[in-house]
Amino acid sequence: MDAIRIVGGAVLNGEIPISGAKNAALPLMIASLLTDEALILDNLPRLRDVQQLQQILSNHGVSYMIEGKRPGQDTMAGQTVHLQAEEIIDTCAPYDLVSKMRASFWVIGPLLARMGHCSVSLPGGCAIGTRPVDFFIDGLAALGAKIEIENGYVVADAPDGLAGGEYTFPRISVGATHTLMMAATLAKGTTTLKQAAKEPEVVDLAECLIAMGAKISGAGTDTITIEGVEKLHGARHSVLPDRIETGTYAMAVAMTGGDVLLTGARADLLQSALDVLTQTGTTVEVNDKGIRIARNSAALKAVSVATDPFPGFPTDLQAQFMALMTMAEGTSTITETIFENRFMHVQELARLGAKISLDGQKAYVTGVDTLKGAQVMATDLRASVSLVIAGLVAEGETKVNRVYHLDRGFERLEDKLAACGATIERISA
């Protein structure tokens, strides 16, 4: 199993290209199930989760073609992929595929809407909380589906097609919003989703579905209205830049010092996180190429945050920010409000010398003068990269084990950091 070796102490300078967003790419790929015509996605990131979803979609009959490289193309640029579900050959999403990645459960919406029946295994993914599928099931039932749980599978039927309805999410769920919005595009009549997720990735999916012929309004607000259509067609859509990757590299630069331009990044996708970063004493400047992050020798200031659905501080940046605060002056309080089990990185940061105490969903981080390299273990995707950030400043050598988590969500992480001066390399098992 691969590991990443880091020797701390290098300052980061240069440019880091921001890849297409994983959290947008996955539902966009799944949307290909809604039409028999080709969906072309530009700026699709090269990630393990994308490859895994490709296998799952292929199981349903989706053909998948990657455009070859073009002369002069940036080696860090996203890929262009053609997906076409001309015929759905299997409406069962099996356990051995779905259990490896939670987002693959979202196929339940398009399969049910297009075929009137599907059987989808209950999901897997990072162990950062229970994240039940109740909202998916209740929402599809509100659209007229009959649903049973049988032998670990969600079996859904709507032989006469889905019908428009109204559903209010008990709490905000990005995945359930994606799924119900896709399902409602082919339902008869009008669907209203209340207390819907407002994340940029939801808006990106809505824009793609509209390009495919869907009638959707309100994406980006807490009420989304979908007027069902009989059929969707093919389209071409570019995946928006990854706001979590943007925030991660911004925090890495803030941690190490230096001056880095995050090319292709969009500030509007993570303004709350950038505002917090500014409060730490880091310079954040937006220009026509992206976002410039810089910090000179000035000390980091402790800042307290609480995670919140968009437009609040993202839960997917909580671990990275905690790593940053381990070297800040003073004590910061980090409150996790989204997932109940997302502090697994704390004990690993402590192995590097971090001073962190936990009280329920609150972490109290008191900055230290130095971190020291050690062997650490990645526990989930975002926790993994927090250890890399800490390792960039830790004295001596840090070895991050089980980095397959990183490959799920960060494209060529070590190459991008090394290009800016970090001493970092992948060690193959």
Give phi and psi for 419, each to the nearest 5. Answer: -65, -20
Q: Which residue has the tokens 């595929």?
A: 97
Question: Under 8 Å CB-to-CB from 360, ≥6 apart: which residues?
Answer: none
Report how far apart, in Å, the C-alpha atoms of 387 and of each of 176, 270, 273, 371, 399 are. Answer: 30, 22, 19, 11, 9
The answer to whether 305 touches 314, Cβ cutoff 8 Å, is no
Question: Under 8 Å CB-to-CB from 69, ≥6 apart: which residues?
Answer: none
The answer to whether 215 touches 226, Cβ cutoff 8 Å, is yes
For the chain, what is the radius of gyration of the CA atoms?
22
What would the DSSP string read from start to end of 54-98? Answer: HHHHHHHT-EEEEPPP-TT--TTSPEEEEEE-SS----EE-HHHH
The answer to whether 83 touches 38, Cβ cutoff 8 Å, is yes
Element (H, E) at 154: strand 153-157
Give the active site residue among 92, 118, 126, 420. 126
Q: Which pair of structure tokens corresponds to residue 355?
A: 């001073």
Give the residue ranges of the annotated binding site. Answer: 22-23, 102, 316, 338
Element (H, E) at 400: strand 397-401
In the residue annotation, 118 being an active-site residue is answered as no
What would the DSSP string read from start to end of 284-348? Answer: EEEETTEEEEEE-SPPPBP--EEB-STTSB-GGGHHHHHHHHTTSBSEEEEE--S-TT--TTHHH
- Count of positions (residues) in the chain: 429
Give the residue ranges of the annotated binding site for UDP-N-acetyl-alpha-D-glucosamine. Answer: 102, 316, 338
State the Cα angle at 205 between 86 and 28, rounded to 5°: 40
Distance CA 53, CA 58 (A): 8
Q: Which residue has the tokens 């800490």?
A: 390
Q: Is the peptide bond before 123 cis (omega within 30 degrees of 0)?
A: no
Element (H, E) at 174: helix 174-184
Active site residues: 126
